[in-house]
Each structure stands twice: as C-alpha cells, then as structure tokens.
Amino acid sequence: MADRKPFIVGMGGTTRPGSSSEQALAMALAHCESRGAETKLYGGAALTLPMYDPDPANMTDAARHLIEDLRRADGVILSSPCYHGGVSGLIKNAIDYTEEMRADDRVYFHGRAIGAIGCGYGNQGPNSVLAQLRQIGHALRGWNVPLGVAVNSADVKFKDGECSAEGIAGQIRIMAAQVVEFSSNFMR
C-alpha cells in the first residue's frame, strides 16, 4: 500500500441545500475520514454545471476542478435522488464530465472503488437509482463495492450528520468502509 491516505471523491445531492442524497453522501464521506481517508464532497451547488460539451474551450473552472479531483481519486461515492424513476439530470450531467478522462492512463474510473447511494420517496425509486448508479460505475470501468445503499426518504431522515434509521446508517458505514478498503488496495 502507498504511504498516503486514500482519496475519496463524493458526488451527489440536489440543487436544494440539505437534500437527503447530499446528507447521506456527507455521512458516508465522514465515515471514510474516520477510516483514514481524505475526502472531497461535490454537492448539489458544486455540481450545477453547464450541460457537458466536449469542446475544451467551454470547460468551466468548476468542471476542471471536479475532473482534476476525479483523476486523483482512489475511490468515488455517487449519491443521487430519484427523479421520475431514474438518476437526476444534475448527477448524470456531472458524471458525463468524466468523458474528459477518456484518454487518461486510468481511463474514466478504472482502478477506483465505487460506492453508490440512491435516495427517494418510497421503496421502488431508490432501488432503481441504486441499480443505475452501479451500472454507470461499471460502464466507467470502476469497481463497485459489494454493498449499495437505497434510502427511502419517506421513512429515513438526516439531520446534523445523523440518520434517523440505524439500519440505513449502518449500511452507509459498511459501504463507506468498503470504498476505503478497496481504494487502499487499488492505490499506486
């Protein structure tokens, strides 16, 4: 293992500050830090980027910083709300920016551990989003950790870094620990 801490980038949330998907992501990253990782959270406000355009002249500084951090990342945690049965446009657009990594030595998410959290009001939507995020992680050549987390925000609430359901909090901790462990194994 390398002599540095694993670096985990979290991407998630909505344009609404304090959304369940952003708070669940923050909780996961806090647990990554407690396991010795360095983390960076890109929440809804930081992900409010122009529609992805492959023309480098149209790349914003915010998008450039996101890609720089993703290039440096050993692991990534994606957290999306369920919008109409799928990943939100905000999160999907931010993920589309990884196309800038297509010619890298570590193309896209190659050699990176991927954690996923799907949030939504009910049971069906969060599971659909979770499956989509895991498929995206796989398509981008990442290594999905075994546990993904589906959060029914009708029953589960987040406040001040705490989760109202210990079962979901436990799943978030397990998934985060898996991301740190797998990332440590992939570090160069």
Q: What is the pLDDT of residues 97-132, one digit of tens each?
A: 999 999 999 999 999 999 999 999 999 999 999 999
Express the helix, strand and coil content of the chain in percent, nearest 5 each.
Answer: 45, 20, 35
CATH code assigned at 57 = 3.40.50.360
- Entry pTM: 0.96
Tens of pLDDT along 36-76? 999 999 999 999 999 999 998 899 999 999 999 999 999 99
The length of the chain is 188
Q: Would residue 104 count as lying in a domain?
A: yes
Q: Would residue 2 count as lying in a domain?
A: no
* Helix ranges, the chain (H): 20-34, 61-72, 89-96, 124-139, 166-186
**Range of 146's domain?**
7-186
Query: Maximum Cα–Cα distance for the chain, whole Å?
Result: 47
Q: Would residue 105 count as lying in a domain?
A: yes
Number of separate domains in the chain: 1
